[in-house]
Amino acid sequence: DTGVSQNPRHKITKRGQNVTFRCDPISEHNRLYWYRQTLGQGPEFLTYFQNEAQLEKSRLLSDRFSAERPKGSFSTLEIQRTEQGDSAMYLCASSSLQGGQPQHFGDGTRLSIL
Amino acid sequence: GNSVTQMEGPVTLSEEAFLTINCTYTATGYPSLFWYVQYPGEGLQLLLKATKADDKGSNKGFEATYRKETTSFHLEKGSVQVSDSAVYFCALSAIGTASKLTFGTGTRLQVTL
């Protein structure tokens, strides 16, 4: 069990650029979640996958955001035409299918928009 | 909708003091309840959990009891250490939501010598 891995740890980009983050979950976990955390707040749910299927998206996920999990393993989160308000920590978590099982989080990708 | 309310921080305590961080929730049905901890520069780590009423979760000297009648899940520790300094998040996972978590805003704990 190597834990949830996220890359990169930090991303600095100019407003209007596209960015992509990667998450590698714990290998036997079927569910993968993305959250966004802004300074002084708790994480907010963005979307989740069960295997390769994206089953729910939050209203926070505007049409500039897209997430994929093509083979049911790693996932990518892309933000197009970044805006200042996108600056945040993006967290990935994974869990097994069994109800009530806790989610295991990665260390996050911190996005800073110049 | 589902929500979690935590006491505002920061909470500043001397080493060996007693800790309580209050957490109340609103949810349909009987959610699972969690405390996560975030140390400086690190990701969220599960501290403890409880999945049904009157369950007590415990880990590393921390405890929390699932109180359905008061919709609460307060975190307690009898004697805090400097190494416990971190941000603590209360969270719930509601029935039928595929385990997605709803978090409180977090409570920063600072323990001094």
pLDDT at site B88? 97
Q: What is the DSSP letter of B34?
A: E
- Measured at the CA of B58, the angle between CA A43 and CA A49, to 5 degrees, comes to 35
Average pLDDT, chain A: 93
pLDDT value at A100 more than 70: no
Say if B100 is an interface residue toward chain A (CB within 8 Å). Answer: yes
Q: Which of B99, B102, B103, B108 to mutate to test the interface with A (most CBs of A within 10 A)?
A: B99
- 8 A C-beta contact, residue B75 and residue B64: yes
Verify whether the Cβ–Cβ distance B106 to A35 is below 8 Å: no
Chain B's closest residue to A32, CA to CA, is B100
pLDDT value at A1 more than 70: no
pLDDT at site A16? 97
pLDDT in tens, A8-26: 999 999 999 999 999 999 9
- Which residue ranges in chain B fall short of pLDDT 50? none
SS3 (DSSP) at A86: helix
Phi, psi (5° rounding) for residue A29? -85, 130
Verify whether the Cβ–Cβ distance B99 to A106 is below 8 Å: no
- State the DSSP string of B64-92: EE-BTTTTB--EEESS--GGG-EEEEEEE
B34 vs B90: CA distance, rounded Å? 6
Chain B's closest residue to A36, CA to CA, is B103
SS3 (DSSP) at A84: helix
pLDDT in tens, A45-59: 999 999 999 998 998
For the four alpha carbons of A10, A15, A17 and A21, in that order, the dihedral sign comes to positive
pLDDT at site A43? 95
- Measured at the CA of B20, the angle between CA B14 and CA B24, to 5 degrees, comes to 150
- Which residues in chain B are contacts of A93 at CB distance < 8 A? 44, 101
pLDDT in tens, A32-45: 999 999 988 999 99
A94 vs B100: CA distance, rounded Å? 10
Verify whether the Cβ–Cβ distance A105 to B49 is below 8 Å: no
- Which residues in chain A are contacts of B44 at CB distance < 8 A? 43, 91, 93, 105
Integer angstrom CA distances of residue A104 from A70, A91, B86: 21, 10, 18
Verify whether the Cβ–Cβ distance A100 to B99 is below 8 Å: yes
